[in-house]
Amino acid sequence: MSEFVLSRSVEALQPSGIRRFFNLAAGMEGVISLGVGEPDFVTPWHVREACIQSLEKGFTAYTANAGLPALRKEITKYLNNRFSVSYNPETEVVVTVGASQAIDIAFRAILNPGDEVIVIEPSFVSYAPVVELAGGVAVRVQALGENEFKVTPEQLEEAITERTKAILLCTPNNPTGTMLNKQELEAIAVLVKKHHLIVVADEIYAELSYDEEYHSFANIEGMYEHTVLISGFSKGFAMTGWRLGFVAAPAYFIEPMLKIHQYTLMCAPTMSQYAALEALQTGNRDVIEMKKSYHKRRNFIVSSLNSIGMECHLPGGAFYAFPSIKSTGMTSEQFAERLLMEQKVAVVPGGVFGESGEGYIRCSYATSMNQLIEAMKRIEAFVHQHCK
Ligand code: PMP
């Protein structure tokens, strides 16, 4: 304890439940991890090479605050080609330090103290803390397992008050893998229009959709004006460590975000920007290959879990399966802890992602097929031993 009074808003934050779990798994031998939320692929060689070449050429200085003009142009081209959304590279894009920084500056730019943001749980663990650090109030709405973790418009409408400023929408979702289709997005758009809301759309998993075509929220009719589109290179392009993402939005959102970005970060790392440029220009084939591999693994893990008796909906995207553990009678925390100790398989307890995640676990299938096969054997043994 120090004699200093530090930030009360930081003190009020709960530490992430995921961390505690990883600390447990670290140091144990022979653990198969279905815990981490990142690709098992190494960034393709030509992307790494583009970075090396940029260093060889001596491109080691800051870039423009918003990012390399060529990269911003390529991002807008990519968004247009892939998702039919069009942005001006000069005024409507900022290259950020991961999607994480984009989410942070989005909320700092749009919230005034006490403004409410609807966070749909189960959700990525950073959302509510980031909203709260920006002075907002996170209003949690529970997407339910019975509904394949799809939030309903009725649930959203019920949560909207005159203080509601924004909805944070993540599809495909971490941790459930649930992806909303066009009709479902359109139903949300009706509410957004009616209540004049902003949507912060975390589309970081947009490249990883398996059954249906992906629809960006910004592409839903009338939603461009309401949407702050956030994405990045970590997931689809297997570039987590490069710390590179971006935000695209109408200039009235981008201007204040850029102000925060230039005072706090200056610019995203230059060498990573050169790598990202290469990834967008020639990396489409890599993305398709990696996606094919995740798709195969998704089908395997979901059918295995269901045949073990752990009910699991077919997640439309990302690389997470979110099966029920209710037949064991354990809490998700007990399940994950005992599975780790007894069978050496690391998963994440669903409860850390919010109330409606309790009774479930998150299994990341961004790991090799051999590891997945072995993990499923171990989980089966565990469940059969403990099933009531
Ligand atoms: N949003 C979601 C839903 C995520 O799962 C993650 C990473 N786990 C991020 C954002 C952050 O991604 P980045 O590496 O681009 O900061």
Return the percent helix, strand and coil in the chain, to nearest 5: 45, 15, 40
147 CA → ligand 1 middle, Å: 24
How far is the centre of ligand 1, averaged over its atoms, from the C-alpha of 383 (Å)?
A: 31
- Which parts of the chain register pLDDT below 70? 1, 388
The token pair at 161 is 């008050």
Say what angle helices 270-282 and 69-83 make with each other, to 10 degrees: 40
Q: Is 117 helix (H, G, I), strand (E, B) or coil?
A: strand
| Residue in 205, 174, 206, 177 with CA at minimum distance from that of residue 82 | 206
Residue spans of the domains in the chain: they are 8-43+285-386, 47-283
Output the pLDDT for position 20.
Answer: 72
Q: Give residues with Cβ within 8 angstroms of 238, minimum separation 6.
A: 39, 41, 42, 43, 44, 286, 290
Atom of ligand 1 nearest to the CA of 173: 3
**Closest ligand 1 atom number to CA of residue 243:** 14
In single-letter form, the type of residue at position 382 comes to F
Residue 387 CA to ligand 1 centre (angstroms):
34
Q: What residues does ligand 1 touch, defined as CB less than 6 Å away?
A: 37, 98-100, 124, 170, 174, 202, 204, 232, 234, 240, 245
Rounded CA gap, 179 and 291, in Å?
15
User: Can you name the CATH fold of 8-43+285-386?
Assistant: Aspartate Aminotransferase, domain 1 (3.90.1150)
- Specify the length of the chain in residues: 388
Structure token digits, residue 91:
């005024």
Predicted local confidence at residue 1, as pLDDT: 66
Q: What is the pLDDT of residue 146?
A: 96
Q: 79 C-alpha vs ligand 1 centroid, how far in Å?
A: 18
Decide: 66 and 92 in contact? Cβ < 8 Å: no
Pocket mutation for ligand 1, best pick of 235, 239, 362 (most atoms within 8 Å of C-beta): 235
What pLDDT does 53 receive?
98
Give me the CATH code for the 47-283 domain, please: 3.40.640.10
**Structure-token pair, residue 37:** 């939320």
Q: What is the pLDDT of residue 308?
A: 94
pLDDT of residue 274: 98
Query: What long-range pairs does 44-50 form, CB within 8 A, spacing at least 24?
Result: 44/238, 44/279, 44/283, 44/286, 46/278, 46/282, 46/283, 47/237, 47/239, 47/275, 47/278, 47/279, 47/283, 47/286, 48/275, 49/278, 50/274, 50/275, 50/277, 50/278
pLDDT 10s digits, 95-144: 999 999 999 999 999 999 999 999 999 999 999 999 999 999 999 999 99
Of 1, 67, 15, the closest CA to residue 245 belongs to 67
ipTM: 0.99
